Amino acid sequence: MRKGKFFRHFPFSLILIIYTLFLNGATSEDYVVGDGDEWNSQANFLSWSTKYNFTVGDILVFKYVKGQHNVYEVEEKTFRSCDSSSGVLAKYESGNDQVKLTEAKKYWFICDVSGHCLGGMRFGIDVKQANPSSDNTGSNDGSPTSQPTELPATPPSSSGRGTLLSESWKTGIYTLAFGVLFKLFC
């Protein structure tokens, strides 16, 4: 009789373990650079980059018209000078580039089209290790972990729309899936 109870509750235990694994792996976010303004010369990237706390595993999505812009991941010296003759770590030119933030460090990005970097198409972010107990929209004290880098003034962003799928939505989806699986197997 005791053995029967164990196997009766085994599917529930298995579902609970899988559910926990999904929640621990659901901490990364996709960020559209510039939000609704995307990657263009009219967006304010200093303002955009300070709105979020970036963590290892997050993905930056650069959306732009191919041929009009590009994205270079660069060293800080190249970022500050906007001279891409050296210090370029990676080049992206597809118009829908996805850059996974693979390590905790400072990342620097510029547009290498003539005049764009000096005109404000550049930003730097400080990527931290993921903390599974917090979300990526602010730290416990309300201050962002990204360290802004002063840039020349750029026009303010005309759109404050965010394009993130928040952790609360993810948690809700996983909870719903858990409930459905629980009903099916228990």
pLDDT digits (tens, 9 = 90+) for 31-71: 999 999 999 998 999 899 999 999 999 999 999 999 999 99
Nearest CA to 34 out of 103, 90, 109, 107 is that of: 109
Q: Where do we find the tokens 């373990």?
A: 17
Residue type at position 91: K
16: number of Cβ within 10 Å:
14
pTM score above 0.85: no
115 and 122 Cβ atoms separated by less than 8 Å: no
Domains parsed from the chain with CATH numbers: 30-126 (2.60.40.420)
Instruction: Report residues of the chain scoring pLDDT below 70.
Output: 1-27, 131-172, 185-186
